Amino acid sequence: MIETPRHEEEHVSEIRSAVRAICARYSEDYWKDLDATHGYPTEFVAELTESGFLGCLIPEEYGGAGLGLPEACAILEEVSRAGGHPGAAHAQMYVMGSVLRHGTAEQKQKYLPKVASGELRLQSFGVTEPTTGTDTTSLKTTARREGDTYVVNGQKVWISRVQHSDLMVLLARTKPIEQRSRKTDGLSAFIVDLRGAEERGLTVKPIDAMINHHSCELFFDDFEIPAENLLGTEHEGFRVVMDGMNAERILIAAECVGDGRYFVDKAVAYANDRVVFGRPIGQNQGVSFPIAKAYAKVEAASLMVDRAAALFAAGKPCGAEANMAKMLAAEASWEAGDTCLQTHGGFGISREYHIERKLRETRLYQIAPISTNLILSYVSEHVLGMPRSF
C-alpha cells in the first residue's frame, strides 16, 4: 500500500489553499460569462501560470516546480470545486510530458522553460480523427518526409485550445498502413509550432459544442514541419502519445472529483437553507439520502484517484488504476450533479445558479478523453483476463 508521508500531505494542503485563494478572485459569474460568449479565461490561466501551478510537473532544471502528479491533481480538483473550468488549462500539464519523456535534450531546453514561464502555451494533442475516433492505430493523416521537412496532409477533430496554443503535439502516419509490422507501427509524433500555422497550410474551424472547451477541426494541406521537430523515434509515435495517457486520465479524474464535491457542497447548502412546508427540505429523507449517496460515491472515487496518482508518482504500473479512477470519478460527478439539480428543483436549470453549466462540463468526461466502454474493455481484457472485445 502506497501512503502519502505526513510532510507531503501538509505540502498538498498548502497547495490547495493557494489555489483556492486564486480561484476566489474569479467568481462563478466569471465562468458563466465566458461560457455564454465562448470566451477563454486568459486572466485566470495567466495567474495560474505566474503562480507556477501550470508548470508544476516540469522539472526545476527547466524552470518548473518539479512537483508530482498528486500535487497536480490537487490543483485541478480545487479549480473544479471552486466552480471553475480547468479544461482551459489542464492539457498544459500533461501534453508537456510527451516532450519531457521523449524529447531530445535540445527540444526540452528549447521548449520546456518557455512553457513553464508561460511564454509558450503547449495545450493541444492532435490525435483524434473524424473517421477513426478512438481507433488511433488506424488514423489517416499522413506526414511524408521530404528532405529536412515532413509534409502533413489530413484532418483532425475535437482538438481543443488550438487557437489559444503556441505548440501542439501531433500524431500522423509516416508509413503506409499496409506496410506496418504491427498495429501501432508507422505513426510518428511531432512538435508543431502553431504560430502563423494558418498561413502555412493549416485551417482551423471551431466546433459549436455544448460546453466551452474551444474544440476545433483541423485541416492540413501540405503543411510543413521541420524534421528536427520529430518527437521520439520515427514510426514509434504511438508510444509517445500513449505514454502520457495515464497522467491525463488521472488528472481528468481529479477534476471530476472536484466537480462532484462542488455539486455536493451546493446541494447540502441549498437543502439546509430552502424551507418548504415549514422546514428545510434537507430534513426529508427523499432529499438528504440521494445527497449522502452521491457524497459517498465521490469520496470513494477520490480514493481511487489518490491510489492511481501515488502509483504514477512512484513510477509503478498504473494503467488499470488510471482507467478505473477516470471512470468512477466521471460517473460519480455526474450522479452528484444530477442530484444537485434535483435538489434545487426548477432553480437547478437556471443559469443564475451555475449548476447546469457545471453539469454540461462534467458530462463530457464519460466520453472523453476515453469513453467508459473502452475503459470497461481494458479492465475486462487486461485486468480480468477475458477475451479482447474488439
| 312-316 contacts at long range (C-beta below 8 A, 24 or more positions apart) | 312/69, 312/246, 312/247, 312/250, 313/68, 313/69, 313/70, 314/2, 316/2
Task: State the Cα–Cα distance between residues 38 and 45, nearest whole angstrom.
Answer: 15
- Measured CA to CA in angstroms, residue 43 lies from 60, 78, 84 at distances of 24, 17, 13
Neighbour-count burial of 360, counting CB atoms closer than 10 A to its CB (0-12 exposed, 13-18 middle, 19+ buried):
middle
CB neighbour list of residue 304: distance below 8 Å, 6 or more residues apart: 253, 321, 324, 325, 328, 329
Report d(CA 32, CA 361) in Å as an integer: 12
> Which of 61, 77, 70, 117 has the alpha carbon at shortest distance from 307?
70
CA distances from 152 to 81, 186, 202 (A): 40, 14, 9
Report the chain's C-alpha Rg in angstroms: 21
Answer yes or no: are the C-beta atoms of 169 and 235 closer than 8 Å.
no
Task: Assess whether 248 carries a catalytic annotation.
Answer: yes
Q: Which of 77, 78, 129, 248 is catalytic?
A: 248
- What cell does 16 get? 490547495
| Cα–Cα nearest to 142, from 222, 67, 202 | 222
Cell numbers describing residue 388: 479482447
Task: Indicate the pairing of strand 142-146 with strand 122-126.
Answer: unpaired
Among 185, 174, 169, which residue's Cα sits nearest to residue 143?
A: 174
Q: What is the C-alpha to C-alpha distance for residues 225 and 66, in angstroms, rounded to an integer?
A: 30
Q: Which residue has the cell 482507467?
A: 323
131 by Cβ neighbours in 10 Å (0-12 / 13-18 / 19+) ranks as exposed
Q: Catalytic residue positions?
A: 248
